[in-house]
Amino acid sequence: MKKYCYFLVIIGIFLNNTSKTQAESTHLTAATLHYPPYEYSEDGTAKGLAIDIIKEIFKRIKPTKKVSFIFYPWARAVSQVKTGQNDILFNAGKNNARQKWGVYANSILILQKYAFFARKGANIRLTQELNGIHNYSVGIRRGYLYGSGSFRKALDDAQFKTVYETDSVEQSVQMLLAGRTDFFIADIIPTQYYLKIQGLSDKLEMVYTPDHKTLIILEWPTYLLFSKKTISSSFVSKVEAILNHMKQDGTYDRIYQNYLIPE
């Protein structure tokens, strides 16, 4: 379950000896929501997949900069960066409205992958086209758009037997285990993390295709978004180049592997 947190976690990253004036003038703030294991706080320290990627980016930036992570409810995080009170919004999807006040680093920060989770032993098999879903009840998250693919079409065309809305992974899991749904759709990494923390990993399984591959329902890329009020486009280009290089030299994949949970 997402827990809204209002706190500031200062992460100082200094690899080179820079002047005091330079260090004081290069302190950026990055805003997001509490969403483990992508981004969260533990004992006052910012942690998570996105946090580790951003920290590595700032280690490589020259001249050296300092970044602080601030956690808000998502709507406030967006507002803080839009108004320039914070510099960076991260794990942010792209839309036209945000590009009016912000500049994206056009290298994907996190590629969120959504799948169906069912009770262990259900052995549900579905095609990518979701043929035969009229026999199943599904749990979805309230307010989520779910893109424009086969799942969105199935929702719009009322193809499922029943559709239940929930406000958290916790509620989705509870509804599934109570037998009210046959499966629910969720972002794979945070859901597996939640199940591991709660000791429920052996209670659920992902839905597979007939050839035993994980059925990925949709992919949702998220990015680093910088406030036009405080950050130059040249700095955004520098961040984008560093992130691309991290993907090329294997650093990005090594960080990512730390957060994958074997099925």
Question: Over 60: is that where the pLDDT of 17 sits?
Answer: no
Quickly state the pLDDT bin for 144 (edges 50, 70, 90): confident
On whether both 76 and 128 belong to a single domain, the answer is no
Q: What residues contact residue 40 under an 8 Å CB cut-off, 6+ apart?
A: 34, 46, 47, 48, 71
The predicted structure's pLDDT at residue 263: 62
Please list, residue by residue across 104-122, b when 16 or more beta carbons sit within 10 angstroms of its beta carbon and e when fewer do.
bbebbbbebebbbbbbeeb
Quickly state the pLDDT bin for 170 (edges 50, 70, 90): very high
Question: Over 70: is that where the pLDDT of 9 sits?
Answer: no
The enclosing domain of 33 has a CATH number of 3.40.190.10
On whether both 196 and 227 belong to a single domain, the answer is no
Give how many domains the chain has, as a whole number: 2
> What confidence tens digit (pLDDT) does each residue in 72-121 have?
999 999 999 999 999 999 999 999 999 999 999 999 999 999 999 999 99
The predicted structure's pLDDT at residue 224: 98
Q: Which residue has the higher pLDDT, 261 or 250?
A: 250
If you average pLDDT over residues 169-194, what whole number do you get? 96
What is the span of the domain harbouring residue 71? 7-111+221-257
Question: Over 90: is that where the pLDDT of 143 sits?
Answer: no
Lowest-pLDDT choice from 89-93, 106-110, 242-246, 259-263: 259-263
On whether both 153 and 24 belong to a single domain, the answer is no
Mean pLDDT (the chain) is 89
